[in-house]
Protein backbone atom coordinates (compact mmCIF):
# COMPACT_ATOMS: atom_id res chain seq x y z
CA UNK A 1 0.00 0.00 0.00
CA UNK A 2 2.83 2.36 0.84
CA UNK A 3 4.50 1.86 -2.57
CA UNK A 4 1.25 2.94 -4.27
CA UNK A 5 1.18 6.15 -2.19
CA UNK A 6 4.77 6.92 -3.11
CA UNK A 7 4.05 6.30 -6.82
CA UNK A 8 0.99 8.57 -6.70
CA UNK A 9 3.06 11.26 -4.96
CA UNK A 10 5.83 11.03 -7.57
CA UNK A 11 3.33 11.20 -10.47
CA UNK A 12 1.66 14.24 -8.88
CA UNK A 13 5.01 16.04 -8.46
CA UNK A 14 6.00 15.25 -12.08
CA UNK A 15 2.66 16.55 -13.38
CA UNK A 16 3.06 19.74 -11.36
CA UNK A 17 6.59 20.35 -12.63
CA UNK A 18 5.67 19.67 -16.26
CA UNK A 19 2.57 21.88 -16.15
CA UNK A 20 4.36 24.88 -14.63
CA UNK A 21 5.29 27.41 -17.33
CA UNK A 22 8.25 29.33 -15.99
CA UNK A 23 10.28 31.80 -18.10
CA UNK A 24 13.17 29.33 -18.18
CA UNK A 25 10.87 26.79 -19.85
CA UNK A 26 9.18 29.19 -22.25
CA UNK A 27 10.32 29.65 -25.82
CA UNK A 28 10.14 32.72 -27.99
CA UNK A 29 7.18 32.72 -30.37
CA UNK A 30 5.87 35.06 -33.05
CA UNK A 31 2.62 36.49 -31.64
CA UNK A 32 1.51 38.65 -34.59
CA UNK A 33 2.76 40.34 -37.72
CA UNK A 34 1.86 43.14 -40.09
CA UNK A 35 1.17 42.00 -42.71
CA UNK A 36 -0.19 38.64 -41.51
CA UNK A 37 1.25 35.43 -42.91
CA UNK A 38 -0.59 34.58 -46.12
CA UNK A 39 -2.17 38.04 -46.48
CA UNK A 40 -2.96 39.65 -49.80
CA UNK A 41 -2.74 43.42 -49.63
CA UNK A 42 -3.28 46.20 -52.16
CA UNK A 43 -0.61 48.75 -51.14
CA UNK A 44 2.84 48.74 -49.62
CA UNK A 45 2.60 48.65 -45.82
CA UNK A 46 3.95 51.70 -44.01
CA UNK A 47 5.79 49.36 -41.62
CA UNK A 48 6.53 45.69 -41.27
CA UNK A 49 5.97 44.79 -37.62
CA UNK A 50 6.72 41.48 -35.90
CA UNK A 51 5.60 41.02 -32.28
CA UNK A 52 7.14 38.26 -30.19
CA UNK A 53 6.27 36.66 -26.87
CA UNK A 54 9.62 37.57 -25.29
CA UNK A 55 11.77 40.70 -25.01
CA UNK A 56 14.42 40.61 -27.76
CA UNK A 57 18.11 40.71 -26.95
CA UNK A 58 20.82 43.21 -27.81
CA UNK A 59 24.57 43.01 -27.21
CA UNK A 60 26.33 46.27 -26.41
CA UNK A 61 23.19 48.14 -27.54
CA UNK A 62 23.40 46.48 -30.97
CA UNK A 63 20.55 44.33 -32.16
CA UNK A 64 21.35 40.72 -32.95
CA UNK A 65 17.92 40.32 -34.51
CA UNK A 66 17.45 40.42 -38.27
CA UNK A 67 14.62 41.06 -40.71
CA UNK A 68 15.00 40.60 -44.46
CA UNK A 69 12.47 41.24 -47.21
CA UNK A 70 12.69 39.02 -50.29
CA UNK A 71 10.88 40.28 -53.39
CA UNK A 72 9.12 38.60 -56.31
CA UNK A 73 12.42 38.16 -58.18
CA UNK A 74 13.94 36.42 -55.11
CA UNK A 75 16.24 39.40 -54.48
CA UNK A 76 16.55 41.29 -51.22
CA UNK A 77 14.46 44.43 -51.00
CA UNK A 78 16.00 47.35 -49.16
CA UNK A 79 14.47 48.14 -45.76
CA UNK A 80 14.83 51.34 -43.77
CA UNK A 81 14.64 52.15 -40.06
CA UNK A 82 15.01 48.62 -38.71
CA UNK A 83 14.24 48.82 -34.99
CA UNK A 84 13.89 46.61 -31.95
CA UNK A 85 11.75 47.84 -29.09
CA UNK A 86 11.32 45.28 -26.33
CA UNK A 87 9.44 42.40 -28.01
CA UNK A 88 8.81 44.19 -31.33
CA UNK A 89 10.94 44.12 -34.48
CA UNK A 90 9.96 46.60 -37.17
CA UNK A 91 11.19 48.00 -40.47
CA UNK A 92 9.96 50.41 -43.13
CA UNK A 93 10.08 49.66 -46.83
CA UNK A 94 12.61 51.95 -48.49
CA UNK A 95 10.31 52.52 -51.47
CA UNK A 96 6.84 51.44 -52.67
CA UNK A 97 6.75 47.75 -53.54
CA UNK A 98 5.57 46.44 -56.90
CA UNK A 99 2.86 43.81 -57.29
CA UNK A 100 4.08 40.33 -56.45
CA UNK A 101 4.81 37.77 -53.75
CA UNK A 102 7.09 38.61 -50.85
CA UNK A 103 8.74 36.89 -47.90
CA UNK A 104 9.75 38.48 -44.63
CA UNK A 105 12.54 36.35 -43.17
CA UNK A 106 13.46 36.92 -39.55
CA UNK A 107 15.86 35.63 -36.94
CA UNK A 108 15.49 36.82 -33.38
CA UNK A 109 17.06 35.99 -30.04
CA UNK A 110 15.18 36.62 -26.82
CA UNK A 111 16.93 37.97 -23.74
CA UNK A 112 16.76 34.49 -22.22
CA UNK A 113 18.80 33.14 -25.16
CA UNK A 114 16.08 31.31 -27.07
CA UNK A 115 16.39 31.86 -30.82
CA UNK A 116 13.62 31.77 -33.40
CA UNK A 117 13.68 32.11 -37.15
CA UNK A 118 10.83 32.01 -39.60
CA UNK A 119 9.17 33.34 -42.72
CA UNK A 120 6.04 35.40 -43.28
CA UNK A 121 4.64 35.26 -46.80
CA UNK A 122 2.36 37.90 -48.29
CA UNK A 123 1.33 39.25 -51.68
CA UNK A 124 0.67 42.69 -53.10
CA UNK A 125 -1.99 42.83 -55.83
CB 114 within 8 A of CB 62: no
Judge whether 8 lies within some domain.
no
Q: Which burial class, exposed, middle or buried, applies to 96 when counting CB atoms under 10 A from its CB (0-12, 13-18, 19+)? A: exposed
Report residues of the chain scoring pLDDT below 50: 8-24
Name the residue range of residue 32's domain. Answer: 27-124
Q: What is the pLDDT of residue 14?
A: 42
Q: How many CB atoms lie within 10 A of CB 92?
A: 15
Judge whether 13 lies within some domain.
no
Judge whether 14 lies within some domain.
no
Q: What is the pLDDT of residue 123?
A: 98
**Which pLDDT tens digit goes with each residue over 18-53?**
444 444 456 889 999 999 999 999 999 999 999 999
Q: What is the pLDDT of residue 5?
A: 56
Judge whether 7 lies within some domain.
no
Q: What is the pLDDT of residue 108?
A: 96
Amino acid sequence: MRSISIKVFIVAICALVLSTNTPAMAHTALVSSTPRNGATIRVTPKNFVLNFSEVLAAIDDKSINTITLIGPTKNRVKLDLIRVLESRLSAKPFAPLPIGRYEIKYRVVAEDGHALNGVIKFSIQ
